[in-house]
Amino acid sequence: MQINPEILPRIIQAIADTIEKNAEEVTQLDQAIGDGDHVVNLQRGIHALQAQSAEIAQLDWAAAMQKIGMTLMSTVGGASGSLYGTLFVTISKALRGQSVDLPVFASAFAQGVESVKLRGKADAGEKTMLDVLIPAAQRLQTAAAASQALNDLLAGITNAAEAGVEATRNMLATKGRASFLGERSLGHIDAGAKTAQLMIAATAGVLASSAAPA
């Protein structure tokens, strides 16, 4: 199955919509154990991507991912800005010169998530966006390797992301601002994990509807 970058404006729009719709809830999460700016940070990046989306749609996958990464890096700020920037720039490098199909994209995404781990010096279980990104990347690779039907694959990733975000509730934060709270971080979902899950669900929704028979 081949999907081309012309789908990116719809994905960017769906992400903008879901972050807007959940802005209040996520801000409350970030206020509980962070500094409350995560949604505003992310929206700065998403608005910049919306302004570039017609241009992005005309690029090849590697160039589109590079542009997205550079834009996020220069607009989002906070811890999440450099982490998402790194994610997309690494995906871009992994896609360069490749014919992009699902297994290739799955591998590129997994490499991107590895680069986020390195950049943030963090791993699974530390109550961050990685608790969503890591299981989503694993599920994507397994499903792509098994040539799972697209809709099953998308449902699997969406579920893995949801389980990941819920799991952050009982984790002790050991990275980022929430780590300053120690045990007081327990009982709260991580805001960055929540937005990662919302963005994955929105992306899966667009891909599912684009693949649906007319």
Q: Which residues bind Mg ion (CB under 5 A)?
A: 34-35, 37-38, 78
CA distance 13 to 127: 27
152 burial type by CB count under 10 A (0-12 exposed, 13-18 middle, 19+ buried): exposed
The count of residues in the chain is: 214
Interface pick for ligand ADP out of 64, 72, 83, 94 (rule CB under 6 A): 83
Helices 78-95 and 38-57 pack at an angle, to 10 degrees, of 30
Interface pick for ligand ADP out of 13, 25, 37, 52 (rule CB under 6 A): 37
Q: Which does 122 bind (CB under 5 to 8 A by kind): ligand ADP, Mg ion, none?
A: ligand ADP
List the interface residues with ligand ADP, window 92-121 (CB under 6 A): 120-121
The CB-nearest residue to ligand ADP is 192
Check if the beta carbon of residue 44 is closer than 8 Å to that of residue 77.
yes
Q: Does 80 bind ligand ADP (CB under 6 A)?
A: yes
Q: Which does 132 bind (CB under 5 to 8 A by kind): ligand ADP, Mg ion, none?
A: none
Check if the beta carbon of residue 125 is closer than 8 Å to that of residue 168.
no
Alpha helices in the chain (DSSP H): 8-21, 23-33, 38-57, 61-75, 78-95, 102-120, 130-145, 150-167, 191-211
Interface pick for ligand ADP out of 52, 111, 172, 177 (rule CB under 6 A): 177
CA distance 181 to 177: 8
Which range in 91-99, 100-108, 155-163, 172-180 contacts ligand ADP by CB under 6 A?
172-180
Q: Which does 83 bind (CB under 5 to 8 A by kind): ligand ADP, Mg ion, none?
A: ligand ADP
CB of 202 to Mg ion, least distance (A): 21
Q: Which two tokens stand for residue 19?
A: 């972050």
Q: Give the per-residue contact string, 185-214, with ligand ADP (x = CB under 6 A; - = no).
A: -----xxxx---------------------
Q: In a 3-state reduction of DSSP, which class is residue 154? A: helix
Q: Judged by CB, which is closer to ligand ADP: 10, or 127?
A: 127
CB of 100 to ligand ADP, least distance (A): 26
Check if the beta carbon of residue 196 is closer than 8 Å to that of residue 161.
yes
Q: In a 3-state reduction of DSSP, which class is residue 71? A: helix
Where do contacts with ligand ADP occur on this chain (CB under 6 A)? 30, 34-35, 37-38, 41, 78-80, 83, 120-122, 128-130, 175-177, 190-193
